[in-house]
Structure 1
């Protein structure tokens, strides 16, 4: 190889050395030099090297024994580094293709996502144990991969929204609505609402809402042991020790909302806004009895005639009336309510 290597400074010795080389090697060396010239023509200063350029230089240099003398643009160490990177990339893809495991079936993937969505407190290991009961073997990391789009972060405990959704049938809420009459005197309306059906259980009006009066309203709203398991209220001072004693003796657990969080009692807050917008903003209030009658009519309309979006456009307490058979059209009746402020549309039997 010492005699075959052509010196770069002697044209005659280089030509004599080329006579001893094969035609294939000479063509490869010429292609290597030509590729370097192509790179030089792209830019005057430092030419950029594309992936195809690196691949061609490595392949052509592997076909030339004297490839180091034919390199002018890069160092031999750089070319060796490119060769190692290509070698590493080739074997990485080859071993990955061989070690690839069979994919999960779409049914298993949908089952994992369903478990992750319906059980917010379940982790990957808990879902894996449920799948093992069904004779489905999936690794923990695979379950975590499909859980990630469903649940970004795992909750540390049960949230307030989850608690209300799980116990909506056993939760009532109560709140006060302050009304000012025509002579600027305050009136207080007290409401108790069932969370699941949005039905208004009880309503009453007073000018002086004392602790005993509020406790009496709770007694009237829960006759014959018809009590909820939880009752949500705010931190109003009107709820005193008498109210707490009546709730305790009735087996009701009172849940106090945090300070400055009306969204914790969202159903009552939404109802109070509906009362103002749909009823009180359109009427003059003179006295306590008038407000009591007005609110009772509105509550009857709210429970039996007003559809609710939170109930999929159903009524909280639909009246038991004989409806016409399906497929038959009947005459539509318009029943005025609240003095014609609202109307209830029904089909004649």
Structure 2
């Protein structure tokens, strides 16, 4: 019989085996560092998301203030495992973040067109508030002259003053219908005009989105007879939009009405009595509890 290994090799294997067994008995295995509690990991990720300029050491300091004792290296590892880059790479601004941070001071306006049954083309001017999505119909006309647009700006400035709204910026496109007097009126009201980019509708996305909603829910379902009929329909839709229609962009609240407290009483849920209110002959439906 021929052996494939030499005697020295077998003896070396035996010595290694004895040494490993001796080491295992002499040095008990120490447990590794336990995994960070899930709630702490979630808190670290939340703080990082809400504060892009905070590095791991700033996050670590905030945790200590909250009474959460973890190592700074642990915070760094949590961010690394989640794929969150260092603070300098997270602080780059986007248009969405910029507009969201300035929502309380932002207005946006735009013109859109509709056609009556007789073929007359009417131009509608509307303004939306970014912070609460409130819409304001400034008017509709077949001839948006400089004087008409200027008067619409004056009416807007007075409405904002009466409502106690302190807007600082107005986003608009470079449409020739907006005259220099329009911008001058807003400037007197301490509202700075911000121009959108050429053929970049996303820079005025809230206004563009509302125009789509107005067309889909009102104008595409209504035969407009004349300017008077159009203004009536737009006023009704404005009231419906501001008072009844929920908006996902503001957590399903309404522009002029906050969300009510949820009904958690089983008896009240069992006795739900909901009444429907109609606008424009049943084109728009609103719902509310019967008193």
Q: Which interval holds the TM-score relative to the shorter structure?
A: 0.7 to 0.9
Q: What's 1:341 paired with?
A: 283
**CA distance, structure 1, for counterparts of residue 143 and residue 192 of structure 2:** 26
Decide whether the 8 Å contact of 2:109 with 2:172 is kept in 1.
yes
Which consecutive unaligned segments of at least 5 residues does structure 2 have? Answer: 17-28, 259-264
Matched, 1:238 2:177: yes
Matched, 1:145 2:77: yes
Alignment: residue pair count: 264
**CA displacement at 1:142 relative to structure 2:** 4.6
Q: 1:144 to 1:213 in 2, by over 3 A?
A: farther
**CA distance, structure 1, for counterparts of residue 54 and residue 149 of structure 2:** 42
TM-score using structure 1 length: 0.64
Greater relative CO, 1 or 2 (CA 8 Å, sep 6+): 2
**CA distance, structure 1, for counterparts of residue 226 and residue 140 of structure 2:** 10
Q: 1:269 to 1:111 in 2, by over 3 A?
A: same
Q: 1:122 to 1:343 in 2, by over 3 A?
A: same
Which consecutive unaligned segments of at least 5 residues does structure 1 have? Answer: 1-25, 34-56, 65-82, 84-96, 320-325
Is the partner of 1:30 in helix, strand or coil? Answer: coil
- Trace 1:47-196 onto structure 2 (pairs within 5 A): 60=10, 62=12, 104=36, 106=38, 108-131=40-63, 136=69, 138-139=71-72, 142-148=74-80, 149=82, 151-152=84-85, 154-196=89-131
Is the partner of 1:275 in helix, strand or coil? Answer: helix
**What's the CA shift string for 1:189-216, capped at 9, x where partnerless?**
0111111221113331011223332232
**CA distance, structure 1, for counterparts of residue 13 and residue 256 of structure 2:** 88
TM-score using structure 2 length: 0.75
